[in-house]
């Protein structure tokens, strides 16, 4: 079952391609542009990190991949291709075949994401029985095996426990087992560690990373914490106000971040290798309204380096030597490299 990373790379295959995705919700207050032009790709065996604050559109993007944001008040633009098929165009029946089977999702709060009235086993079996037409006993055996794989001790007896008999970390492991039940190609983890203790967080991320190889799938890891994705992500997409502001492979993003918002995120991570600060730095201000977004660069009102040109919105394009490293900022590369240092060091307020 287990494959090494090299082998996984050999079968490299584009699983997901998102082009110009826009998601808008009609509300009483106006149109909420939750996602406003997002593009990314995901290869088999890859881990893609999507990073941003609350309200940056990262969860909506993830839910849209599974068609979970569909509603009569929702409008979509662009395309979400899964193995070349557009998820946005699929009917409800086709979507059901994809959900949980080819793409599955882990949610933020394991305390509320499991149905309290069914056993863990029953909830894992449900997906298996629906998608693989497996009989009850086969599904149960598979559920036990999955629980073992995600590191639940005494899986044989634990499988009959109810969610409230599990701790938070174990519930999230059970959620992962449930998501992997039908060998999905893509695992979407929406803030999988936010509700967990710090010690458990690392275990869960490590588990997701290991299982990705075991199941030969790809992972989209959504978080507001760059520290969480630093070790495991191959590529990182930074989102702000419904759009991608920077996209690069992980190493590149950490060593040569181009967008002031990314600097702010990096500067607000507490670090042991830097002198202790009086207090942790934060990005001043709040994310903009998604109904009446500011003109030009959406980060302009919070950006300390904003200048005249920012009234016009920059395109997401490659501005540095490294191909594939895209950003949305008018500052020249040299200026950026000069300006970002104090912010990254955390010695200056990010904004």
Partner 1 sequence: MLPFLVRRLIGAFLVLVAVSFITYLIFVKIPGGDPAPRIAGRLATDQNIADIRQKLHLNDPFYSQYWAMMQSLFTGTLKSYSSQLNVVSEIKRGIPATLSLTIGAGIIWLGFGILVGVISAVTAGGLSDRVITVLALIGISMPVFWLGLIARYLFAESHPFSFFPDGEYVPLTQNPWQWFVHLIMPWTVLAVLSIGFYGRVLRSNILDTINEDYVRTARAKGLPPRRVLVKHVLRNSLIPIVTLFGLDFAAVIGGSAILTETVFNLRGVGQYAADSVQSLDLPPIMGVTIYATFFIVLFSVVVDLLYAWLDPRIRPT
Residue whose CB is less far from partner 1, 1 or 117: 117
**Between 196 and 265, CB nearer to partner 1:** 196
- Residue of 263, 232, 233, 235 lying closest to 323 (CA atoms): 235
* Stretch touching partner 1 by CB under 8 A, among 35-43, 113-121, 239-247, 310-318: 113-121
Query: To 10 degrees, what angle do helices 136-149 and 168-180 make?
Result: 130
Of 79-87, 93-101, 147-155, 286-294, which segment contacts partner 1 by CB under 8 A? 93-101
Looking at the Cβ atoms of 64 and 258, the one nearer to partner 1 is: 64
Q: Name the one range near partner 1 by CB under 8 A: 115-123, 150-158, 211-219, 324-332.
A: 115-123
Is 98 one of the binding residues for partner 1 (CB under 8 A)?
yes
For 139, 161, 192, 195, the CA distances from 145, given in Å and listed in that order, are 10, 15, 22, 26
When the beta carbons of 129 and 252 are compared against partner 1, the nearer one is 129
Q: Which two structure tokens, joined as six digits, stand for 75? A: 């409008």
Of the candidates 7, 89, 115, 292, which one interacts with partner 1 according to CB under 8 A?
A: 115
Phi, psi of 136 (to 5 degrees): -55, -45
Q: Which stretch binds partner 1 (CB under 8 A): 26-34, 91-99, 221-229, 328-336?
A: 91-99
Q: How far is the CB of 218 from partner 1 (least distance, A)?
A: 17
How many whole angstroms separate alpha carbon 131 and alpha carbon 330? 49
Residue of the chain from 130, 202, 320, 339 that contacts partner 1 (CB under 8 A): 130
Of positions 79, 126, 213, 225, contacts partner 1 by CB under 8 A: 126
* CB nearer partner 1, residue 184 or residue 257: 184
Q: Which of 28, 29, 92, 334 binds partner 1 (CB under 8 A)?
A: 92
CA proximity to 42, closest of 98, 77, 83: 83
21 binds partner 1 (CB under 8 A): no
The SS3 of residue 78 is: strand
Please state, in angstroms and rounded to a whole number, the distance separating the CA atoms of residues 126 and 123. Answer: 5
**Applying CB under 8 A, which of residues 51, 120, 127, 283 lies at the interface with partner 1?**
127
Token pair 């998102």 is found at: 18
| b/e 319-347 (16+ beta carbons within 10 angstroms → b) | bbeeeebbbbbbbeeeebeebbeebbebe
User: What is d(CA 274, CA 343) in angstroms, rounded to the nearest whole number?
Assistant: 13
- By CB under 8 A, name the binding residues for partner 1: 66, 68, 92, 95-101, 104-105, 107, 109, 112-117, 119, 126-127, 130-131, 162, 164, 175, 178
């Amino acid at each position: 079952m287990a494959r090494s990373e090299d082998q996984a790379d050999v079968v490299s295959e584009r699983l997901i391609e998102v082009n110009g995705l826009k998601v808008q919700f009609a509300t009483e207050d106006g149109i909420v542009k939750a996602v406003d032009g997002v593009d990314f790709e995901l290869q088999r065996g890859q881990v893609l990190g999507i990073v941003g604050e609350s309200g940056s559109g990262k969860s909506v993007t993830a839910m849209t991949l599974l068609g979970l944001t569909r509603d009569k008040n929702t409008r979509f633009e662009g395309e979400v291709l899964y193995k070349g098929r557009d998820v946005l165009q699929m009917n409800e029946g086709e979507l059901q075949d994809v959900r949980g089977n080819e793409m599955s999702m882990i949610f933020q709060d394991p305390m509320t994401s499991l149905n309290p009235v069914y056993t863990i086993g029953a909830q894992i079996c449900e997906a298996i029985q629906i998608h693989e037409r497996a009989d009850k006993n086969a599904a149960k055996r598979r559920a036990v095996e999955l629980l073992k794989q995600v590191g639940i001790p005494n899986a044989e007896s634990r499988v009959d426990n109810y969610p409230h008999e599990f701790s938070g970390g174990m519930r999230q492991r059970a959620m992962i087992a449930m998501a992997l039940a039908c060998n999905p190609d893509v695992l979407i983890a929406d803030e999988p560690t936010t509700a967990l203790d710090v010690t458990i967080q690392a275990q869960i991320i490590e588990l997701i990373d290991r299982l990705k190889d075991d199941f030969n799938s790809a992972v989209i890891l959504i978080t507001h914490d760059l520290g969480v994705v630093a070790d495991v992500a191959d590529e990182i997409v930074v989102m702000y106000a419904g759009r991608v502001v920077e996209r690069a492979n992980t190493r590149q993003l950490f060593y040569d971040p181009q967008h002031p918002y990314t600097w702010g995120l990096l500067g607000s991570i507490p670090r042991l290798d830097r002198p202790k600060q009086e207090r942790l730095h934060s990005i001043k201000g709040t994310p903009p309204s998604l109904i009446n977004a500011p003109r030009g660069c959406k980060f302009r009102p919070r950006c300390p380096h904003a200048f005249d040109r920012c009234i016009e919105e920059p395109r997401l394009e490659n501005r540095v030597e490294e191909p594939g490293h895209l950003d949305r900022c008018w500052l020249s590369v040299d200026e950026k490299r000069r300006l970002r240092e104090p912010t990254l060091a955390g010695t200056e307020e990010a904004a």
